[in-house]
Amino acid sequence: MTNPSLLILPGDGIGPEVMAEVRKIIGWMGDKRGVTFDVSEDLVGGAAYDKHGVPLADETMAKAQKVDAVLLGAVGGPKYDDLDFSVKPERGLLRLRKEMDLYSNLRPAQCFDALADFSSLKKDIVSGLDIMIVRELTSGVYFGEPRGIFEEGNERVGINTQRYTESEIERGARSAFELAMKRSKRLCSMEKANVMESGILWREVVTHVGKDYPEVELSHMYADNGAMQLVRAPKQFDVIYTDNLFGDILSDCAAMLTGSLGMLPSASLGAPMANGRPKALYEPVHGSAPDIAGEGKANPCACILSFAMALRYSFDMGEEADRLEAAVEKVLADGIRTGDLLNDAGVTPASTSEMGNAVIAALDASL
């Protein structure tokens, strides 16, 4: 049997720093669990632009299409702010999502007990929180045409188009309903049907798909209210299904419920490949964090937990994923924290690599 294959794209800023900790875990799995991955590595984002003049080389795209799963760190940074839009680092990530057709983006927000005190919200509001945002990832205003900056009379106009077909809404909805079936059978769909035609269609299609899942309790909410409800009473939600842009914003918002953006993993899944595994890319929800890049301060948990999602969703290794998640939880419970999870100036934060080493020690202790 061939080993499962992984393409690692560390990217920019703190991307390579947090990915180094995932590499340690991949090594540990080979040494201690007899699970070996065929790992290749390549460039994405600004790092790819520096070498190839594009944020994702065609060869890298082709490799991503072939592997069982892609792990991505983060892209972007101020160095690239003035680049032409077509070669900005973020375009590399968007190309991967679009060409791999990764339409279902799972962004879980789970508040570990050890961090309940650390959230900016009151402990009883977030403690025990475990929600899943399903973000449609390959359409909507991120990709709709027409788009661009055009001359209009004596000024310019910037245009982006929110566009959704029924089938795009439907396939994402099915993935959200399937997840709801495995969880507590509650799904809340968020759009703005009060002001957007695409929102009206969204609500209709999701309602229609819901007829195939009679056990799932479906509700609808305007996305602005959804943002407010997420900070008012987040535990009312289980699975949330929403569009590309609302999902981007709502998931950053949900991140703070867990204590830090440095805690939120994600899985971007597409249709099954010939081997039955879904096309997949795993990445932390956070970006390249230019304000702390290069200082060894980044929290690697989001990237490590993204790898745990890869074990679960791409490789059917649910027990190994549970073990890794439990190891992260133990490290946090033991009080080992990077700076984003500390507010006591008297405590020295763990570095990125100390945090990764602590996870390895917790994994060792779990055997």
CB 21, CB 356: distance < 8 Å: yes
* 212 belongs to the catalytic site: no
Minimum Å distance from CB 301 to Mg ion? 17
Pairing of strands 5-11, 38-41: parallel
> Which residue matches tokens 């991140």?
255
Between the two ends of the chain, the Cα-to-Cα distance in Å is 25
Q: From the annotation, which residues make up the binding site for substrate?
A: 97, 107, 135, 224
Among 76, 140, 265, 270, contact with ligand NAD (rule: CB under 6 A): 76
Q: Give the gyration radius of the chain's Cα atoms.
A: 20
Q: How far apart, in whole angstroms, are the C-alpha atoms of residue 359 and residue 357? A: 5
Nearest CA to 260 out of 98, 86, 366, 126 is that of 126
Stretch 259-298 residues interacting with ligand NAD (CB under 6 A): 261-262, 283, 286-292, 298
Which residue number, 107 or 286, has a Cβ lying nearer to ligand NAD? Answer: 286
Continuous segment of H or E residues that includes residue 158:
strand 155-161
* 252 belongs to the catalytic site: yes
Minimum Å distance from CB 281 to ligand IPM? 10
Work out what residue 342 binds among Mg ion, ligand NAD, ligand IPM, none; the CB cut-off runs from 5 to 8 Å by kind.
Answer: none
Contact string (CB under 6 A) for ligand IPM, positions 29-48, x = contact: --------------------
Q: How far apart, in whole angstroms, are the C-alpha atoms of residue 16 and residue 43? A: 10
Minimum Å distance from CB 354 to ligand IPM? 27
Contact string (CB under 5 A) for Mg ion, positions 243-282, x = contact: -----x----------------------------------
Nearest CA to 26 out of 307, 280, 325 is that of 307
Residue among 101, 130, 252, 322 flagged as catalytic: 252
CB 8, CB 40: distance < 8 Å: yes
Which residue number, 166 or 295, has a Cβ lying nearer to ligand NAD? Answer: 295
Q: Which two tokens stand for residue 286?
A: 């956070």
Residue 245: CB partners within 8 Å, gap ≥ 6? 140, 141, 142, 162
Among 68, 168, 191, 248, contact with ligand IPM (rule: CB under 6 A): 248
Nearest CA to 61 out of 42, 80, 37 is that of 42
Work out what residue 94 binds among Mg ion, ligand NAD, ligand IPM, none; the CB cut-off runs from 5 to 8 Å by kind.
Answer: ligand IPM
CB 189, CB 242: distance < 8 Å: yes
Work out what residue 171 binds among Mg ion, ligand IPM, ligand NAD, none; the CB cut-off runs from 5 to 8 Å by kind.
Answer: none
Q: Which two tokens stand for residue 32?
A: 């201690």
Which residue number, 216 or 255, has a Cβ lying nearer to Mg ion? Answer: 255
Stretch 68-107 residues interacting with ligand IPM (CB under 6 A): 76, 90, 93-94
By annotation, the residues acting in catalysis are 142, 192, 224, 248, 252
In the complex, the residues that contact ligand IPM under the rule CB under 6 A are 76, 90, 93-94, 248, 285, 287
